Structure 1
Amino acid sequence: MLEDLKKKLVSSLEFIYPDLDSSFLANELIQTMGLDQQCQNPKDHQNNWDESETLLITYADSIHNTAAATTEKPLVTLYNFLQGHLKETISSVHILPYFPYSSDDGFSVMDYLAVNESHGDWEDIERIANEFTFMSDLVINHMSARSRWFDNFKKRIDPGKDYFYEGNPQDDLSAVVRPRTSPLLNPVTTEDGERFVWCTFSEDQVDLNFENPKVLLEFVNIVKHYLDHGVKIFRLDAVAFLWKKAGTPSIHLQETHEIIKLFRVLIEHHSPDAVIITETNVPNRENLTYFGNANEAHVIYNFSLPPLLIYSLISGDCRHLKTWLMSMPPAQMGTTYLNFIASHDGVGLRPTDGLLAEEEKNQMVSTMLQFGGQMTYRRSREGTDKPYEMNISLYDAMKGTIAQGEDKWQLQRYLCAHAIMMALEGIPAFYIHSLFGTENDYARMENTGRARSINRSQWDISELEDQIENKFSHHSKVFSRMNELIAIRKKQSAFHPNATQFTLHLGLQIFGFWRQSMRRDQSIFCINNISNEVQDIALSDINLIGTDDWVDLLSGLKVDDLAGSLTLAPYQTVWLSNR
């Protein structure tokens, strides 16, 4: 088994580091992961999930206890909330970077091996990991400019001397794909004089240099550390930008894909039930490449879903959503999609390239601004600033429509969006604020000076529980209905992440698709009115099988007359199942 493992590692290492001894480096990687002591044999195309899989996305301190007498750390508060309110709903928990950091709410990591002491400690992480499948960020592209490694870089000593990527201002960097408008190269004074470090995202987030194999070994050691503390899902943050090369776009380079393969091989030989998820907020066709040949990411984010679904619901037109869904290849066994419609970041617009016209994007942006949202920009290759990300809470994004502005259908539109997301091929992921219908947080945004903070609220546990218990609060209505939808979804074999999916054609105001279980013992027709008007559908257009008994899982309504019609209220969803 070790020889087969080594062959796989050497195959990638020879491409990444053609001038190094790949066999020697492979042995170092194996020893660092402890695979020379214990190595498991992963099965090809193994699904480490089923229809009961649901993922929660949260910061360590999204919920905290501000009671004057308490010294409770946020990770303890979070654990108590999960146990008290979400134990039957959520199976996996993604806690966004919980390490010491200097900026970007955690994504500028100062120490990968420590837990931010203001949040808690490793025991708190392990307590959550013992109850839920635990997902951790591996912030692999960049590190804080205030880290020990970067201090050593400036001092020109190890570890850190050659850990960060240096650029030359004289090089042609015009082709580099930028997600920000900040300078790509930043001057730094070191013991050897001025150096220019590569900063894809910000001056405080300095890109790491994977051309140095010591950096690769450091991160393999970090991965082993996380596995030892109960991490089972690894989110490779901003991994598309990992390998840089002057004169190229410096995104999606083959070296990056080979490094992902390396991590996949090492992780699954340590823990066959562990999973890699790549975070690549890019156009859809580029995103799909991170599956590789079922040998890179186990799971990729469905980044095109949030903007397309928002556009469909505020325009009342699902043609682009249908076109996209028809173009999505079924994921191979052992791989799947992560479906989400809200996260700690804003709603990216690059994943709509080739899917929405510029005029349609502009209409959506204008509407989000009208609903209180903000906009961040990126620097294009032409040197102009283009809209990159819509910053708005999902609840406020559902306030109304492009044509008519705010209306009375916000709650129904919001729940419809989640019902669609839950039913699609893949694993559903819920940003914690989506469970409560949290609104735009203008105070937090003003306090931090960052647009993304509008959707990064922090709830006091007492206030949150009061809102959940108040049946007249929209927070309570959202939380209650979301839990009901998830509970129903988790019981349906046709909603397995790899179950068959086909797109239905029922007009522009009805978004529909069909799911069939892998055992073919259940079919569900997911029919969604994405408009603010009542819609009637002839049941003959859905092609329900006459010998089966059909029932709407959400309302309990039985469908007896297949020659009749189905009437849907604005933003109503039905899940017609034959069992």
Structure 2
Amino acid sequence: MDTPLTRKLLAHLRVIYPEADNGPLVEQLIATMALDPASQAPPTHRNLWNQNDVLLITYGNSVVDEGEKPLVTLNKLLTNELDDCLSAVHILPFFPYSSDDGFSVIDYVSVNESLGDWGHVSTIAKRKHLMADLVINHMSSRSAWFENFKRRRDPGKDYFKEASLEDDLSQVVRPRSSPLLTPVQTDDGERMVWCTFSPDQVDLDFGNPQVLVEFVRIIHFYLEQGVRIFRLDAVAYLWKVPGTSCIHLQQTHEVVKLMRTLIEHGYPNAVIITETNVPNRENLTYFGNANEAHVIYNFSLPPLLVHCLLSGSCRHLKTWAMSMPPAQNGTAYLNFIASHDGIGLRPAEDLLSEEELAEFIGTISRSGGMVSYRRKGDEDKPYELNVSLWDALKDTVDGGKSHQQLARFLCAHTIMLGLEGIPAFYIHSLFATENDTQKVALTSRNRSINRHTWSLEALRTALSNGSHHQQAYEALRHLIQTRRAQPAFHPNATQFTLHLGLEVFGFWRQSLDRSQSIFAIHNVSSEVQQVALSTINLVSTDLWFDLITGRHFNDPHAELTLQPYECLWLSNRNFCGQEAPLED
């Protein structure tokens, strides 16, 4: 059948498989997604989010309660403690796995029995918009597919990427320092398989169209279970061609576009997010022309924001903010400060100098953090900082400021919540969890430092006993609930960076209908700062007040005194909006 959908799919496939007869593959993909070939694509440049949207990132077992499955406990947490401050939840890989805390998937269509089952996942999906990982670049060496690869039978015989020691792999970009190729003994001899991340995570070969079909089948299954947001994990490395960098290749981008075409024809309100922890310019390419990822992670924000607060200077954060292009309607940034992995350093390349980077790493190390490395040429380069966000902000580069830790922590989140984009909180940032050094000793993995497991009882105690956990959590709840009511904080609302010196980071947001303005002003230093309101150009006919404290500012020419790390959201209007999360 000749329809707009079939023509669009053929156009994608001609880029991915230029030598193939792609007509039968088009029919197979449409059938696998159970699509009507005559279905129409949704309108372009349509925002599927608004200011109410706030995402939680968590493992399925980050919080546990004795005697019940962790996914049941997570649902209780979402229902009770977090119901009024979140619209969506990203449950990190909840499938059977062999390593990397879930990112070495054994079976894509099963739930790890220790966490629960698909019924538990679907229950959460009915309460919050559910984001799930599509671990698309690689699969566990203990999977049935890889066992079939070794036995030389289908499905799996030709599903994994192979290479030889004679191939030109000198330009391959790696996020790890382990060997790229791993020898594997198969029933017809030794083969060298491509392992971008670890020998247990064998890269899939999308040069085989049946691998693409298998993943489309997985996508359709997830949609049926209630998943509406797809995180394409490590997608930048998807396509490999010896003699190239094997990152961001044209076929990789086209696979993302094809998946979007298939998903939006069947589920027009589903969202694709690409996880590409790379320098900023490379990351931005995954928007395409509003026809690729709906949302991309703002990977440069964590290192620049944390560096800003440790150094007391917003020079680099401000330069970066001014250079960021506004996301087109129908696309958005996902803003976060910390994740389950750590604070990536590659996105700060060419933004921080070598001296600043060394000072940054040294400060984090003094606060108990660690450094993971990647291989570049013949040397290892710092790749990410492994540390909890709470401890990352323990002190400043010049030392002696640990008593201001909570103020720095809240300032970081206030900036993140106000910036253009959708805010996301890693669960251990929301609860101000400390470094888990015992878990690192147990697993011998740096990333375990920020993957603590709370008991529900201990967490509830910590959130009610006056601890820093309670102080941080209650302050963040107030900020989140305040933000969710303001149309000027819509992810696509106008943003301009203000010039208030190096110690004060500020920006202006205006709602899409221009009914509300917010001037977000943040003292990022450990000292008191003065800011003249006249430099902000407040409209004198409006009444201005701070959304955070309710304090009024009637004199547009007055001078503000900002305490260390104090933040203001100066607005001419306040809204008490009803919850309207990501469209269903």
Q: Name the residue aligned to 1:55.
A: 55
1:224 aligns with 2:220: yes
Q: C-alpha separation between the residues in 2 aligned to 1:475 and 1:220? A: 42
1:465 aligns with 2:465: no
Cα shift readout 1:470-528 (whole Å, capped 9, x = no counterpart): 1x211111111111100000000000000000000000000000000000000000000
1:513 aligns with 2:501: no
Cα shift readout 1:99-118 (whole Å, capped 9, x = no counterpart): 00000000000000000011
Q: C-alpha separation between the residues in 1 aligned to 2:291 and 2:247? A: 19
AA of the residue aligned to 1:59: Y
Indicate if the aligned counterparts of 1:40 and 1:271 stay in contact, CA closer than 8 A.
no
- Structure 1 segment 322-471 matched on structure 2, within 5 A: 322-380=318-376, 382-470=377-465
Q: Name the residue aligned to 1:273.
A: 269
1:173 aligns with 2:164: no
Q: C-alpha separation between the residues in 2 aligned to 1:321 and 1:199? A: 35
Q: C-alpha separation between the residues in 1 aligned to 2:144 and 2:175? A: 26
Q: C-alpha separation between the residues in 1 aligned to 2:561 and 2:492? A: 30
Cα shift readout 1:359-390 (whole Å, capped 9, x = no counterpart): 1111100100000001100000x210011010
Indicate if the aligned counterparts of 1:166 and 1:197 stay in contact, CA closer than 8 A.
yes
Q: C-alpha separation between the residues in 2 aligned to 1:422 and 1:331? A: 16
Q: C-alpha separation between the residues in 2 aligned to 1:29 and 1:41? A: 16
The match for 2:294 among 298, 313, 317 is 298
Q: Name the residue aligned to 1:496.
A: 490
Indicate if the aligned counterparts of 2:5 and 2:37 stay in contact, CA closer than 8 A.
no
Q: C-alpha separation between the residues in 1 aligned to 2:185 and 2:154? A: 17
AA of the residue aligned to 2:511: S
Q: C-alpha separation between the residues in 1 aligned to 2:133 and 2:144? A: 20
CA-CA distance at 1:40 after TM superposition: 5.2
Indicate if the aligned counterparts of 2:196 and 2:203 stay in contact, CA closer than 8 A.
yes
1:242 aligns with 2:217: no
Q: Name the residue aligned to 2:46.
A: 46
Q: C-alpha separation between the residues in 1 aligned to 2:525 and 2:99? A: 41
Q: C-alpha separation between the residues in 2 aligned to 1:320 and 1:216? A: 41
Q: Name the residue aligned to 2:578.
A: none
CA-CA distance at 1:172 after TM superposition: 1.4
1:183 aligns with 2:151: no
Q: C-alpha separation between the residues in 1 aligned to 2:242 and 2:40? A: 40
- Structure 1 segment 50-89 matched on structure 2, within 5 A: 50-66=50-66, 70=67, 72-89=68-85
Q: C-alpha separation between the residues in 1 aligned to 2:17 and 2:198? A: 28
Q: C-alpha separation between the residues in 1 aligned to 2:450 and 2:438? A: 11
Where 1:90 maps in the other structure, the secondary structure is coil
Q: Name the residue aligned to 1:574.
A: 568
Counting aligned pairs with the same residue, the percent is 62
Going from structure 1 to structure 2, the CA distance change for 1:28 and 1:39 (only over 3 Å counts) comes to same
The alignment's C-alpha RMSD in Å is 1.0
Cα shift readout 1:56-103 (whole Å, capped 9, x = no counterpart): 00000000013xxx2x10000010111011111000000000000000
Q: Name the residue aligned to 1:163.
A: 159
Indicate if the aligned counterparts of 2:510 and 2:518 stay in contact, CA closer than 8 A.
yes
Q: C-alpha separation between the residues in 1 aligned to 2:256 and 2:282? A: 15
Q: C-alpha separation between the residues in 2 aligned to 1:407 and 1:105? A: 32
Going from structure 1 to structure 2, the CA distance change for 1:227 and 1:40 (only over 3 Å counts) comes to farther
Where 2:81 maps in the other structure, the secondary structure is helix
CA-CA distance at 1:353 after TM superposition: 1.0
CA-CA distance at 1:41 after TM superposition: 3.5
Q: Name the residue aligned to 1:556.
A: 550
Indicate if the aligned counterparts of 2:53 and 2:86 stay in contact, CA closer than 8 A.
yes
Going from structure 1 to structure 2, the CA distance change for 1:145 and 1:406 (only over 3 Å counts) comes to farther
Q: Name the residue aligned to 2:581.
A: none
Indicate if the aligned counterparts of 1:38 and 1:270 stay in contact, CA closer than 8 A.
no
1:539 aligns with 2:505: no
Going from structure 1 to structure 2, the CA distance change for 1:37 and 1:125 (only over 3 Å counts) comes to farther
Indicate if the aligned counterparts of 1:40 and 1:272 stay in contact, CA closer than 8 A.
no
Where 1:400 maps in the other structure, the secondary structure is coil
Where 1:389 maps in the other structure, the secondary structure is strand
Q: Name the residue aligned to 2:120.
A: 124
Q: Name the residue aligned to 1:154.
A: 150
Q: C-alpha separation between the residues in 1 aligned to 2:455 and 2:269? A: 35
Where 2:292 maps in the other structure, the secondary structure is coil
Structure 1 runs not aligned, ≥5 long? none
Q: C-alpha separation between the residues in 2 aligned to 1:556 and 1:2? A: 60
TM-score w.r.t. the length of structure 1 is 0.98
1:310 aligns with 2:335: no
Structure 2 runs not aligned, ≥5 long? 574-584
Where 2:403 maps in the other structure, the secondary structure is coil
Indicate if the aligned counterparts of 1:2 and 1:39 stay in contact, CA closer than 8 A.
no
Cα shift readout 1:34-55 (whole Å, capped 9, x = no counterpart): 0038945311111000000000
Indicate if the aligned counterparts of 1:2 and 1:36 stay in contact, CA closer than 8 A.
no
Q: Where has structure 1 moved over 4 Å in runs of 4 or more?
A: none
Q: Name the residue aligned to 1:479.
A: 473
CA-CA distance at 1:199 after TM superposition: 0.2
CA-CA distance at 1:406 after TM superposition: 4.6
Indicate if the aligned counterparts of 2:5 and 2:38 stay in contact, CA closer than 8 A.
no
Where 2:463 maps in the other structure, the secondary structure is helix
The match for 1:107 among 103, 106, 120 is 103
Indicate if the aligned counterparts of 1:365 and 1:390 stay in contact, CA closer than 8 A.
yes
AA of the residue aligned to 2:120: D
AA of the residue aligned to 1:490: R
Going from structure 1 to structure 2, the CA distance change for 1:82 and 1:2 (only over 3 Å counts) comes to farther
